[in-house]
Amino acid sequence: MFGIGEWLQGVFGPYGVIGVILFVFLIFFIDALVFPTLPELFFIFGFMAMPQETFAQMVEYGLYLLSAAVIAEVAGITLLYWIVEHVRVPERIKRIADRYVKFLIVSDERMLLVNRVAPVIPFAGAFISLIDDWRISKALFYVVIGCILKYGLILLMSSFFFSYFSSGDAETYTIIFIIAVIVISMIAAFSKKKKEGLANENS
Protein backbone atom coordinates (compact mmCIF):
# COMPACT_ATOMS: atom_id res chain seq x y z
CA MET A 1 0.00 0.00 0.00
CA PHE A 2 1.07 3.60 -0.53
CA GLY A 3 2.91 4.78 2.56
CA ILE A 4 1.75 7.85 4.44
CA GLY A 5 5.37 8.58 5.19
CA GLU A 6 6.20 8.54 1.47
CA TRP A 7 3.35 10.96 0.75
CA LEU A 8 4.47 13.39 3.44
CA GLN A 9 8.04 13.08 2.28
CA GLY A 10 6.88 13.97 -1.22
CA VAL A 11 5.07 17.08 0.04
CA PHE A 12 7.57 18.27 2.63
CA GLY A 13 10.65 16.37 1.45
CA PRO A 14 12.12 19.29 -0.50
CA TYR A 15 12.37 21.14 2.81
CA GLY A 16 13.96 18.18 4.59
CA VAL A 17 13.63 17.58 8.32
CA ILE A 18 12.82 21.25 8.92
CA GLY A 19 9.79 21.05 6.62
CA VAL A 20 8.29 18.01 8.36
CA ILE A 21 8.96 19.43 11.83
CA LEU A 22 7.31 22.72 10.79
CA PHE A 23 4.32 20.73 9.49
CA VAL A 24 3.94 18.96 12.86
CA PHE A 25 4.37 22.27 14.69
CA LEU A 26 1.55 23.88 12.67
CA ILE A 27 -0.80 20.92 13.27
CA PHE A 28 -0.29 21.12 17.05
CA PHE A 29 -0.50 24.91 17.04
CA ILE A 30 -3.81 24.86 15.15
CA ASP A 31 -5.11 22.09 17.44
CA ALA A 32 -4.35 24.16 20.55
CA LEU A 33 -5.57 27.46 19.13
CA VAL A 34 -8.45 26.93 16.68
CA PHE A 35 -9.97 23.46 16.32
CA PRO A 36 -9.13 19.75 16.91
CA THR A 37 -6.85 18.26 14.24
CA LEU A 38 -6.18 14.71 15.52
CA PRO A 39 -2.55 15.64 16.27
CA GLU A 40 -1.68 12.05 17.25
CA LEU A 41 -2.10 10.88 13.66
CA PHE A 42 -0.15 13.76 12.14
CA PHE A 43 2.56 13.43 14.76
CA ILE A 44 3.21 9.85 13.78
CA PHE A 45 2.84 10.64 10.07
CA GLY A 46 5.60 13.17 10.58
CA PHE A 47 7.73 10.54 12.28
CA MET A 48 7.24 8.16 9.36
CA ALA A 49 7.89 10.85 6.75
CA MET A 50 11.66 10.90 7.23
CA PRO A 51 13.70 7.70 6.95
CA GLN A 52 15.81 6.83 9.98
CA GLU A 53 18.50 4.24 9.29
CA THR A 54 19.62 3.66 12.88
CA PHE A 55 17.94 3.65 16.29
CA ALA A 56 20.01 6.69 17.28
CA GLN A 57 18.62 8.59 14.28
CA MET A 58 15.08 7.55 15.27
CA VAL A 59 15.62 8.89 18.78
CA GLU A 60 17.15 12.16 17.55
CA TYR A 61 14.41 12.80 15.00
CA GLY A 62 11.72 11.78 17.50
CA LEU A 63 13.06 14.29 20.02
CA TYR A 64 12.90 17.04 17.41
CA LEU A 65 9.25 16.18 16.72
CA LEU A 66 8.43 15.98 20.42
CA SER A 67 10.04 19.38 21.01
CA ALA A 68 8.03 20.86 18.13
CA ALA A 69 4.81 19.39 19.56
CA VAL A 70 5.47 20.75 23.06
CA ILE A 71 6.46 24.22 21.84
CA ALA A 72 3.44 24.39 19.52
CA GLU A 73 1.05 23.34 22.31
CA VAL A 74 2.46 25.96 24.67
CA ALA A 75 2.41 28.64 21.95
CA GLY A 76 -1.16 27.86 20.86
CA ILE A 77 -2.57 27.66 24.38
CA THR A 78 -0.72 30.80 25.48
CA LEU A 79 -1.94 32.78 22.46
CA LEU A 80 -5.55 31.67 23.00
CA TYR A 81 -5.21 32.54 26.69
CA TRP A 82 -3.91 36.00 25.77
CA ILE A 83 -6.75 36.57 23.28
CA VAL A 84 -9.45 35.61 25.79
CA GLU A 85 -7.76 37.72 28.47
CA HIS A 86 -8.04 40.77 26.21
CA VAL A 87 -11.62 40.20 25.07
CA ARG A 88 -14.66 41.25 27.06
CA VAL A 89 -16.15 37.84 27.87
CA PRO A 90 -19.75 37.90 29.18
CA GLU A 91 -20.04 36.88 32.82
CA ARG A 92 -22.57 34.24 31.77
CA ILE A 93 -19.91 32.46 29.69
CA LYS A 94 -17.49 32.59 32.62
CA ARG A 95 -20.09 31.08 34.93
CA ILE A 96 -20.83 28.28 32.45
CA ALA A 97 -17.10 27.48 32.12
CA ASP A 98 -16.67 27.57 35.89
CA ARG A 99 -19.63 25.24 36.47
CA TYR A 100 -18.37 22.86 33.81
CA VAL A 101 -14.91 22.61 35.37
CA LYS A 102 -16.28 22.23 38.90
CA PHE A 103 -18.52 19.50 37.53
CA LEU A 104 -15.38 17.47 36.71
CA ILE A 105 -13.86 15.16 39.32
CA VAL A 106 -10.52 17.02 39.01
CA SER A 107 -11.33 20.72 38.90
CA ASP A 108 -7.91 22.36 39.11
CA GLU A 109 -5.06 22.65 36.59
CA ARG A 110 -4.28 18.93 36.93
CA MET A 111 -7.30 18.35 34.71
CA LEU A 112 -5.10 19.36 31.79
CA LEU A 113 -2.96 16.32 32.52
CA VAL A 114 -6.02 14.06 32.69
CA ASN A 115 -7.14 15.72 29.46
CA ARG A 116 -4.39 13.85 27.60
CA VAL A 117 -6.15 10.57 28.31
CA ALA A 118 -9.77 11.71 28.48
CA PRO A 119 -10.09 14.91 26.43
CA VAL A 120 -13.05 16.69 28.00
CA ILE A 121 -11.65 20.25 27.96
CA PRO A 122 -11.38 21.75 24.46
CA PHE A 123 -9.64 25.10 23.88
CA ALA A 124 -7.57 24.82 27.05
CA GLY A 125 -6.18 28.34 26.69
CA ALA A 126 -9.68 29.81 26.91
CA PHE A 127 -10.54 27.75 29.99
CA ILE A 128 -7.32 28.80 31.73
CA SER A 129 -8.35 32.43 31.24
CA LEU A 130 -12.01 31.96 32.21
CA ILE A 131 -11.46 29.97 35.43
CA ASP A 132 -10.45 32.38 38.19
CA ASP A 133 -8.67 29.73 40.27
CA TRP A 134 -6.45 28.55 37.41
CA ARG A 135 -2.97 29.98 36.86
CA ILE A 136 -1.34 30.00 33.44
CA SER A 137 2.10 28.92 34.70
CA LYS A 138 0.75 25.91 36.58
CA ALA A 139 -1.57 25.00 33.71
CA LEU A 140 1.27 25.07 31.18
CA PHE A 141 3.35 22.87 33.47
CA TYR A 142 0.71 20.14 33.28
CA VAL A 143 0.29 20.69 29.53
CA VAL A 144 4.02 20.13 28.97
CA ILE A 145 4.18 17.07 31.24
CA GLY A 146 1.14 15.54 29.58
CA CYS A 147 2.48 16.20 26.10
CA ILE A 148 5.86 14.65 26.88
CA LEU A 149 4.30 11.56 28.47
CA LYS A 150 1.72 10.92 25.77
CA TYR A 151 3.82 11.59 22.68
CA GLY A 152 6.92 10.11 24.24
CA LEU A 153 5.00 6.83 24.64
CA ILE A 154 3.81 7.07 21.04
CA LEU A 155 7.42 7.53 19.88
CA LEU A 156 8.59 4.56 21.94
CA MET A 157 5.95 2.28 20.44
CA SER A 158 6.64 3.55 16.93
CA SER A 159 10.39 3.01 17.34
CA PHE A 160 9.67 -0.53 18.54
CA PHE A 161 7.56 -1.28 15.45
CA PHE A 162 10.16 0.14 13.07
CA SER A 163 12.96 -1.76 14.83
CA TYR A 164 11.32 -5.19 14.66
CA PHE A 165 9.12 -5.10 11.56
CA SER A 166 9.52 -4.22 7.91
CA SER A 167 8.84 -0.62 6.96
CA GLY A 168 5.39 -1.37 5.48
CA ASP A 169 4.26 -3.49 8.44
CA ALA A 170 5.68 -0.98 10.92
CA GLU A 171 3.62 1.81 9.33
CA THR A 172 0.48 -0.33 9.48
CA TYR A 173 0.98 -1.35 13.12
CA THR A 174 1.86 2.20 14.12
CA ILE A 175 -1.28 3.66 12.54
CA ILE A 176 -3.42 0.94 14.16
CA PHE A 177 -1.82 1.80 17.51
CA ILE A 178 -2.52 5.53 17.07
CA ILE A 179 -6.13 4.90 16.05
CA ALA A 180 -6.50 2.69 19.15
CA VAL A 181 -5.11 5.54 21.30
CA ILE A 182 -7.62 7.99 19.81
CA VAL A 183 -10.55 5.58 20.24
CA ILE A 184 -9.58 4.75 23.83
CA SER A 185 -9.28 8.49 24.58
CA MET A 186 -12.77 9.10 23.17
CA ILE A 187 -14.23 6.22 25.17
CA ALA A 188 -12.47 7.46 28.31
CA ALA A 189 -13.81 10.97 27.76
CA PHE A 190 -17.36 9.71 27.22
CA SER A 191 -17.14 7.44 30.26
CA LYS A 192 -15.76 10.25 32.42
CA LYS A 193 -18.53 12.64 31.38
CA LYS A 194 -21.16 9.97 32.03
CA LYS A 195 -19.83 9.12 35.50
CA GLU A 196 -19.52 12.76 36.44
CA GLY A 197 -23.07 13.36 35.21
CA LEU A 198 -24.39 10.59 37.42
CA ALA A 199 -22.35 11.87 40.37
CA ASN A 200 -23.75 15.34 39.83
CA GLU A 201 -27.34 14.02 39.72
CA ASN A 202 -26.85 12.09 42.96
CA SER A 203 -25.18 14.95 44.82
Question: pLDDT tens digits, residue range 34-87?
Answer: 888 888 888 888 887 766 667 777 788 889 999 999 999 999 999 999 999 999
**Given this model, what pLDDT does residue 198 score?**
46
CA distance 138 to 136: 6
- What pLDDT sits at residue 203? 47
> Which residues neighbour 51 within 8 Å (Cβ) at sequence distance 6 or greater?
5, 9
% of the chain residues with pLDDT over 90: 30
Cβ partners under 8 Å of residue 54, min gap 6: none
The answer for residues whose C-beta is within 8 angstroms of residue 71's C-beta and 6 or more apart is 25
Amino acid identity, position 7 = W
| C-beta separation of 70 from 147 below 8 A | yes
Which residues does the chain have with pLDDT short of 50? 1-2, 4-5, 198-203
The pLDDT of residue 202: 47
